[in-house]
Structure 1
Amino acid sequence: MTTGRAYEVVIAGAGPTGLCLAGELALAGIRCRVVERRDHRTQESRALGLHGRTMEVLRMRGVADAVLKRANPVKQVRVSLGGSLLDLRKLPSDYGQLTIIPQGETEEILEERARKLGVTIERGVKLTGCEQDGDEVVMRLESGDRQWEERTPWLVGCDGAYSRVREAMGAEFVGDVYPYTIIVADVKLGVPLDEQLLIHVGRAGLVVCTDFGNGWYRLGVIDRGKEWSDDPVTLDEVRETLHKLFGKDLRPSEPLWTSRFRIQERQASTYRKGRMIIAGDAAHVHSPLGGQGLNLGIQDAMNLGWKLSAVVTGRGSDRLLDTYQEERRRVSQGVIKVTDIATRMMTSDALPARAARLIGVSTATRVPKSHLVAVGHLSGIATAYPTTADRRCPDGTSGHRVPDLVMRTGPARGERLFEVMRSGTFVLIDQSGAQPSGLLKPWGGQVIELRGTVDGAKGPWTGSEMILVRPDGYCAWAGSRERAATELPAAMRRWAGAPPVPARAGAE
């Protein structure tokens, strides 16, 4: 239900997660405001890799091409253990790559989209505290010397690992801190590397080298023997550490950005309390190995946006909003577990760990089935939501990612699914060849129907007569035309809420 307030949702944090979520809410007609403590977008490169599934959801919203114009696509990842190679081109996606783009540029693209959709973004405004009061959240805000309070029906914390919203919710941030630190440096190298992305593993530690494609490299270095220091990272320190780990001088120069931080793995005990919700780093942090952080945040936003919109407008229930935590917390928990194991195995000098990483990496890169599993989970392409899947779907499609299906109508290839999804609605794919069923007509503009046959797709999609696709690109229901008569409206009610009640004739 809409309110008389200027904004129905306030988002704390204008990083990629907050900006993506703001765009999703505005696309659904929700009046949204973003407050950000910084006066400017991220100026450092920071998180820089967009995985395959993230690029797919950006394509669903029409911004993938803008990203690609600024990015360096990396198709393979070399691991210095027996010449192992992860080939991302094996992914069943148009984005079989790691798309390298500085975080600030990703934020710029997402901010431009959000503003075009009518989102208000206020920089230099810090959320210092909040608490729920009935059906509203009281926010304490600060800008310069000014301090004041405001109220909002909903508050979403995309405000990072030290989230004020999470703190106000009373959610525990359970986890651990690794005993070693990571040094990050964006530099030029006098001895360029042959690979666009190299994970160099040695007994002294680990280096992840990423080519920006413009002469600079991102170096993420874990030196197990280096103690924590509050001192700024110097170019000499970068050179000495690289020489120790590589055994040669790579001659780094012209640093654009350097940083030093401890690696943490933590997850919030809950993602929601009443009308306060958290997403992105406010909900989970983990080892940067694998570059999952920014990607998890954008996926959080895509999952939460349409669900929160349905609840704000009165279409959806609290039960729908509960599925945000059920689905996304399970995914981030899995990422934390895998990156923790990988980080400890890759950085240990113990003989069992050295043997395990050699066997593990060799298996993941050289056994075809294991290779597909590895790149599928790394990229997010293999992510599914079985905890809330419809058990009545015998083909196992419910809860799984739907690829960018191409429809064929007669002899001609027709529309692509991701193009149709730009409006942020549900999509019903009907391959039955029969007349339109009208089963979802009561939901009106909340669902778009695509008729024809799926062209050239692998997996179960060609065998499902009807497929209901959620706004975030996951399958809500799939099955035969016969089953659809009773099951399809129930699935739509589950995920979209009750259909709107038609206005009575003559009603004012």
Structure 2
Amino acid sequence: MDQNADAYDVIIAGAGPTGLMLAGELALAGVRCRVVERREHRTQESRALGLHGRTMEVLHMRGVADEVLERANPVPRVRVSLGQSLFDMGKLVSDFGQLTIIPQGQTEELLEKRAVNLGVTVERGVTVTDCRQEGRTVHVTLEKEGRVWEESAPWLIGCDGSRSQVRQSMGAEFTGATYPYTIIVADVRLGVPLDDQLLIRVGRAGLVVATDFGNGWYRMGVIDRDKPWSDDPVTLGEVDATLKKLFGRDMRPSEPLWTSRFHIQERQAEFYRKGRMIIAGDAAHVHSPLGGQGLNLGIQDAMNLGWKLAAVVKGRAGEDLLDSYAAERRPVSQGVIKVTDIATRIMTSDQLPARVARKAVVAVASRIPRTHLTAVGHLSGVFTRYPAMAAATGASALVGTRVPDLRIASPGRSAENLYEALRTGSFVLIDTGSGAPLLPGVPESDGSLVRLAGRISYAPGPWRTPEVILVRPDGYCAWAGTRARAVAELPAALLRWVRS
């Protein structure tokens, strides 16, 4: 039977961080949204535990970052044992120049609370077993406790992980490879505490990524080149022996909270959208965990997709706007796959050329200021940009780049930061000049679609120059330039995003 055929605009498969973030974005725009999740409970283990700078900026744009920080351990520096190299994320022009350590379950809790408060329905213990499209409707077969039924909605989004049923129903190949070695993770206390909150120890036998939770426990992520795959559970004795081998001393691990082992894969979906079915997060891409990018990519996928899908659902844009989601996000995940693949292979190799290369690369990346900033900028996501945007508009080199948290003054309001102004999910138009309104032909410029702001009192680097900046709901620059050019070009730039 077909239940709730008209109850929801969007069904999301998966209540992990990607699905919950997307649900919140859709609900913020007034889209009726239902999330189904096969797990009975939120993630109980720490799992993905690091939120990078750009992800924290995104969460700050939606009012969640402060709650995250109340529970987290901010780590501003990463030490790599090769030459004792130090990567300092505090060098970034961001309020979140750090890796924010928080267990995945707590991230899910905060994102779910936001989504539910905005009216999202989340049902657990429900598995998507099949889905198909008929015209402008997607039919989803669901199963819970042996009961099988069908629900329909205009849109289905697969945030259902690397084994995504939605991706399989779309017919998208998940191409890539599996590494010949495995990773062991263990959340333990250490009898020999580390001097660094985040240490990457590299040796000929493999590597260890040690992360301090800030509460006495450490996450130990271990790749031992010589350890064969096993289906057996990870024991404390195995963790003890492996750490002793890779550290060269007894670390005395104890009181394990969670242990696991898994194969490392690098895969990317052939395409991200087929008609009214779309995938995001691990359903679209997986890669080596070195660098901790997975959860961060998923949340940023959701931030990119959310306002676009909402615009389509609400009739403000045509479906071709959704083409920009894959055009912008797929190259980002492809770049992460490429970089983490190279890094993992170099860092775990016992071959002399690789050992020489990793010492040289780490030394250059950590000690030359410009190279160091580039490395932490890309690692954090702060330097992520969307070249496809700039190619489509071409007004400024700033188009497609992340806009920092400018200090702005809005008409009739006291001064505030840009990321606070973005909390309604609207565009923000910063116009420092004077004269007639720049958007007389856009009736939604009353604040529901475009929020108007005036003077900038703080802007780093190149952001001091433009007289007019149009900021998308996800915090990226949609247009920038002089006021003279804005009069002629800005309406068309805005209509590209909301009247496609």
TM-score, normalised via structure 1 length: 0.95
Tell me, yes or no, if the aligned pair for 1:393 and 1:479 is still in contact at 8 Å: no
Q: Are 1:450 and 2:453 counterparts?
A: yes
Q: How far apart are 1:151 and its partner, in Å? A: 1.3
Q: Are 1:476 and 2:462 counterparts?
A: no
- Residue-by-residue CA offset, 1:112-169 (whole Å, 9 max, x unaligned): 0000000000011110111111111111100001011121110000000000000000
Q: Which residue does the alignment assign to 1:110?
A: 111
Instruction: Find the residue that maps to 1:455 and give its secondary structure.
Output: strand
Q: How far apart are 1:319 and its partner, in Å? A: 1.8
Q: Which residue does the alignment assign to 2:179?
A: 178
Q: Which residue does the alignment assign to 1:506?
A: none
Q: Which residue does the alignment assign to 2:388?
A: 387
Aligned pairs for 1:308-347 (under 5 A) are 308-347=309-348
Tell me, yes or no, if the aligned pair for 1:468 and 1:476 is still in contact at 8 Å: yes
The code of the aligned residue for 1:57 comes to V
The code of the aligned residue for 1:40 comes to H
Tell me, yes or no, if the aligned pair for 2:75 and 2:100 is still in contact at 8 Å: yes
Match of 2:467 among 465, 468, 483: 465
Q: Distance in 2 between matches of 1:305 and 1:56?
A: 16
Structure 2 unaligned regions, length at least 5: none
The code of the aligned residue for 1:446 comes to L
The code of the aligned residue for 2:161 comes to G
Change (3 A) 1:392 1:10: closer
Aligned pairs for 1:201-240 (under 5 A) are 201-240=202-241
Change (3 A) 1:4 1:285: closer
Change (3 A) 1:269 1:438: closer
Q: How far apart are 1:437 and its partner, in Å? A: 3.3
RMSD over aligned CA atoms reads 1.5
Q: Which residue does the alignment assign to 1:91?
A: 92
Change (3 A) 1:409 1:44: closer
The code of the aligned residue for 2:330 comes to R
The code of the aligned residue for 2:463 comes to W
Deviates more, 1:443-452 or 1:47-56: 443-452
Aligned pairs for 1:91-490 (under 5 A) are 91-390=92-391, 393-407=394-408, 414-434=415-435, 436-439=437-440, 441-444=442-445, 445-452=448-455, 454-490=456-492
Q: Distance in 2 between matches of 1:369 and 1:11?
A: 41
Tell me, yes or no, if the aligned pair for 1:395 and 1:460 is still in contact at 8 Å: no
Q: Distance in 2 between matches of 1:278 and 1:243?
A: 41
Q: Which residue does the alignment assign to 1:44?
A: 45
Q: Distance in 1 between matches of 2:313 and 2:42?
A: 28
The code of the aligned residue for 1:213 comes to G
Q: Distance in 1 between matches of 2:80 and 2:223?
A: 15
Instruction: Find the residue that maps to 2:231 and give its secondary structure.
Output: coil
| Count of aligned positions | 494
Q: How far apart are 1:459 and its partner, in Å? A: 2.4
Instruction: Find the residue that maps to 2:458 and give its secondary structure.
Output: coil
Q: Distance in 2 between matches of 1:68 and 1:47?
A: 16
Structure 1 unaligned regions, length at least 5: 499-508
Q: How far apart are 1:482 and its partner, in Å? A: 1.1
Q: Distance in 2 between matches of 1:171 and 1:35?
A: 21
Q: How far apart are 1:214 and its partner, in Å? A: 0.2
Tell me, yes or no, if the aligned pair for 1:390 and 1:476 is still in contact at 8 Å: no
Instruction: Find the residue that maps to 1:461 and give its secondary structure.
Output: helix
Q: Distance in 2 between matches of 1:409 and 1:29?
A: 24
Instruction: Find the residue that maps to 1:399 and give its secondary structure.
Output: coil
The code of the aligned residue for 2:451 comes to I
Tell me, yes or no, if the aligned pair for 1:381 and 1:401 is still in contact at 8 Å: yes
Q: Which residue does the alignment assign to 1:32?
A: 33
Q: Distance in 2 between matches of 1:474 and 1:36?
A: 31
Q: Distance in 2 between matches of 1:401 and 1:266?
A: 26
Q: How far apart are 1:388 and its partner, in Å? A: 2.5
Q: Distance in 2 between matches of 1:448 and 1:193?
A: 48
The code of the aligned residue for 1:476 comes to A
Q: Distance in 2 between matches of 1:458 and 1:357?
A: 34
Tell me, yes or no, if the aligned pair for 1:310 and 1:496 is still in contact at 8 Å: yes
Q: How far apart are 1:391 and its partner, in Å? A: 5.6
Q: How far apart are 1:421 and its partner, in Å? A: 0.5
Q: Distance in 1 between matches of 2:184 and 2:112?
A: 29
Q: Distance in 1 between matches of 2:410 and 2:125?
A: 52
Tell me, yes or no, if the aligned pair for 1:125 and 1:142 is still in contact at 8 Å: yes
- Residue-by-residue CA offset, 1:64-95 (whole Å, 9 max, x unaligned): 00000000000100000001000010011000
Q: Distance in 1 between matches of 2:130 and 2:394?
A: 45
Q: Distance in 2 between matches of 1:390 and 1:407?
A: 28
Q: Distance in 2 between matches of 1:237 and 1:436?
A: 68
Change (3 A) 1:426 1:397: same
Q: Distance in 2 between matches of 1:166 and 1:59?
A: 30
Instruction: Find the residue that maps to 1:184 and give its secondary structure.
Output: strand
Tell me, yes or no, if the aligned pair for 1:137 and 1:151 is still in contact at 8 Å: yes
Change (3 A) 1:324 1:198: same
Q: Distance in 2 between matches of 1:276 and 1:140?
A: 14
Change (3 A) 1:146 1:4: closer
Q: How far apart are 1:178 and its partner, in Å? A: 0.3
Q: Are 1:496 and 2:482 counterparts?
A: no
- Residue-by-residue CA offset, 1:357-378 (whole Å, 9 max, x unaligned): 0000000000000000000000
Change (3 A) 1:394 1:243: same
Instruction: Find the residue that maps to 1:69 and give its secondary structure.
Output: helix
Tell me, yes or no, if the aligned pair for 2:198 and 2:212 is still in contact at 8 Å: yes
Q: Distance in 2 between matches of 1:189 and 1:289?
A: 22
Q: Which residue does the alignment assign to 1:505?
A: none
Q: How far apart are 1:392 and its partner, in Å? A: 5.1
Instruction: Find the residue that maps to 1:233 and give its secondary structure.
Output: coil
Q: Distance in 2 between matches of 1:368 and 1:39?
A: 48
Q: Distance in 2 between matches of 1:4 and 1:163?
A: 23
Q: Distance in 2 between matches of 1:409 and 1:475?
A: 18
Q: Distance in 1 between matches of 2:409 and 2:367?
A: 36
Q: Distance in 2 between matches of 1:391 and 1:372?
A: 28
Q: How far apart are 1:456 and its partner, in Å? A: 3.3
The code of the aligned residue for 2:125 comes to G
Change (3 A) 1:297 1:409: closer
Q: How far apart are 1:190 and its partner, in Å? A: 0.5
Q: Distance in 2 between matches of 1:439 and 1:464?
A: 21
Deviates more, 1:126-135 or 1:198-207: 126-135
Q: How far apart are 1:395 and its partner, in Å? A: 3.5
Q: How far apart are 1:236 and its partner, in Å? A: 0.1
Instruction: Find the residue that maps to 1:339 and give its secondary structure.
Output: helix
